[in-house]
């Protein structure tokens, strides 16, 4: 059983001509001479590497729509009343006091350096893609106001056309990274943080040293 549907996906803007498809290859059961499209094999045969990336580039985010034999949608959690904990001393838990707006969702992470969060949420890594760049303001402001941790993905400095390097190829100035940090900090109120992912290129460029030296960022994620 193939849990994916190879050879046709909206992410690559492709589809099978036929309703009947071979599960292993994704080819139509009848792949006809003279077909006018538009599966991945068909499209790649004359659009070549355009098929590598979901598109239109910079306009979308895309996920892998694979079916899993078991996933969270198969589970139902049937809750029942267990009482109320954590109420202020002397307050008895009942329908008037144990109300959801009073629930404390704060938490923290870190071993020696603790980071407090208002709710235990991290964003996905928003890195060098155009969709991340042009939507950073919304994510940065939203994450700061929500008190969650914002993850800046890899290679943001590497593709910055205004990046300045020293004679050893290390970052002197990275305006796009500066912009992202400044936007996040505009509404930062002590909860969550912005952390920066680093790949091999980021490490060579000295991204960790730069964000720590210039902005005092203390968390990186090595890939």
Binding flag, residue 43, ligand SF4 (CB under 6 A): no
Closest-CA residue to 39 (of 15, 20, 69): 15
Cβ proximity of 191 and 121 under 8 Å:
no
Distance of CA 121 to the CA centre of its chain: 12
Binding flag, residue 6, ligand SF4 (CB under 6 A): no
Q: Please pick, from the candidates 12, 39, 139, 217, the single residue that binds ligand SF4 as defined by CB under 6 A.
A: 39
- Per-residue x/- track, 127-166, ligand SF4 (CB under 6 A): ----------------------------------------
Binding flag, residue 9, ligand SF4 (CB under 6 A): no
Q: Please pick, from the candidates 9, 42, 139, 160, the single residue that binds ligand SF4 as defined by CB under 6 A.
A: 42
Q: How many CA atoms lie within 13 A of 46 on its CB side?
A: 5
Binding flag, residue 27, ligand SF4 (CB under 6 A): yes
Cβ proximity of 184 and 194 under 8 Å:
yes
Phi first, then psi: give them for residue 93, nearest 5 degrees. Answer: -75, 115
Query: Where along the sequence are the contacts to ligand SF4 (CB under 6 A)?
Result: 16-18, 27-28, 31-32, 35, 37, 39, 41-42
């Amino acid at each position: 059983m193939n849990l994916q549907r190879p050879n046709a996906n909206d992410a690559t803007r492709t589809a099978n001509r036929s309703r009947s498809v071979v599960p292993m290859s994704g080819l139509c059961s009848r792949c006809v001479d003279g077909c006018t499209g538009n599966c991945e094999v068909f499209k790649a045969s004359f659009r070549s590497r355009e098929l590598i990336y979901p598109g239109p580039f910079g306009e979308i985010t895309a996920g892998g729509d694979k079916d899993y034999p078991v996933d969270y949608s198969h589970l139902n959690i049937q809750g029942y009343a267990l009482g109320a904990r954590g109420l202020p001393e002397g307050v008895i838990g009942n329908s008037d006091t144990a109300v959801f707006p009073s629930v404390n969702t704060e938490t923290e992470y870190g071993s020696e350096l603790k980071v407090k969060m208002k709710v235990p949420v991290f964003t996905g890594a928003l890195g060098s893609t155009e969709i991340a760049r042009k939507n950073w303001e919304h994510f940065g402001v939203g994450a700061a106001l929500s008190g969650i941790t914002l993850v800046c993905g890899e290679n943001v400095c590497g593709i910055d056309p205004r990046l300045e390097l020293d004679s050893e190829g290390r970052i002197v100035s990275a305006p796009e990274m500066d912009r992202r940090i400044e936007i996040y900090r505009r509404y930062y109120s002590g909860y969550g943080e912005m952390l920066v992912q680093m790949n091999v290129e980021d490490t060579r460029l000295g991204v960790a040293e730069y964000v720590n030296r210039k902005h005092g960022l203390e968390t990186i994620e090595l890939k």
